[in-house]
Chain A
Amino acid sequence: MNNIATQRIKREFKEVIKSEELAKCSIKVDLIGDSYTELKGEIAGPPDTPYEGGTFFLEIKVPETYPFNPPKVRFMTKIWHPNISSVTGAICLDILKDQWAAAMTLRTVLLSLQALMAAAEPDDPQDAVVAKQYKEYPEIFAKTASHWTNVYAGGPNKNSEFDTKIQRLIDMGIERDQARGALSTYNWDLERATEQLFS
């Protein structure tokens, strides 16, 4: 890794450690090993959203050409959000692509992601299924996102209705995450999810 990228990350690392957001437990960055090319990000689900109370981990890869090119960021914690793939965790956010600017930092990225969690952009989706549900059935979307936050990110809201439906599919031999994915996709319509899984 070239000098400027390493030096830059070291400086930023101190910046995030000292930042207000860290004190408020809202964002955090950790090193993985001591290479400075791979880091682990952490975002608290923003208040008054289905993600509230959850902790979301991010994989951050710093390219050699950083900060002239953006870091590669992906959600490691599964999340139900129109701009984040529910399968791979890939993120659709302009500043991670063509709107990146060399003066942006990891702190900017994490705060932008937190803002994206609070205000989705369904017209520029990463996950078309989630985006469609967000627009057509906002209440089901909110419940689903809150359920995923509970299951994968340690959020507080258990949903026993959803759990019962998932259990029904598990009893038929379907794996748990796959059952949850299918039910989420079909707006918790057990019949349609079953049909799709066994077709």
Chain B
Amino acid sequence: MASYFDELHVEEDEMPTVRLERLTRETFRMLFDHDPARYGDIINFQNTPPASKSEIEKLKAPSFEELIDEQCRICLSQYQLNDKALNMPCNHIFHENCLKTWLEKSNFCPLCKFELKTDNEMYELYKQELKNRQSREDNIAQLHDSMFS
């Protein structure tokens, strides 16, 4: 399986902004290959980045029935009539205000850690590369199993 970065080959006559992007990606890859754990420190993931605004806007309100007798797990209060709530893609529901305050700080679901996309390109690359490594390892494991079982 080709690396995510191998697919990003860029031509000489590319736009300056693309070249800049490629440079960041290459720097990223260098750092990541060198020491993935420290890479996290370098770009400072003390807190995961906020969710992208456009992702937050895509969230839908749950139906009224879904709120009956349920509790928002951020503020721990029961939903009242006319309370505004939002549904995460993982189907966890929170008050609109509670959830938005949280997502402006961190991009994951407070209950199950499901991640929304962020606007932080470096963070997205980091996640992608972790995923690629995992699937490479899975492929090798599968290949090994099919050969020796």
Contact = CB atoms under 8 A, between A and B. Distances in A.
Contacts of A8: 75-76
Given A7-B75, A11-B76, A68-B101, A98 B47 contact: yes
Interface residues of B, number: 19
B148 interface: no
B75 A4 contact: yes
- Interface of B, secondary structure class, is loop
Contacts of A97: 46
Contacts of A11: 76-77
- Interface of A, secondary structure class, is loop
Nearest to A12: B76
Interface residues of A, number: 16
B71 to A, nearest CB: 9
15 contacts: A7-B75, A7-B77, A8-B75, A15-B76, A67-B75, A68-B105, A98-B46, A101-B108, A101-B110, A101-B111, A102-B74, A102-B110, A103-B74, A104-B110, A105-B76
Interface of A: 4, 7-8, 11-12, 15, 67-69, 97-98, 101-105
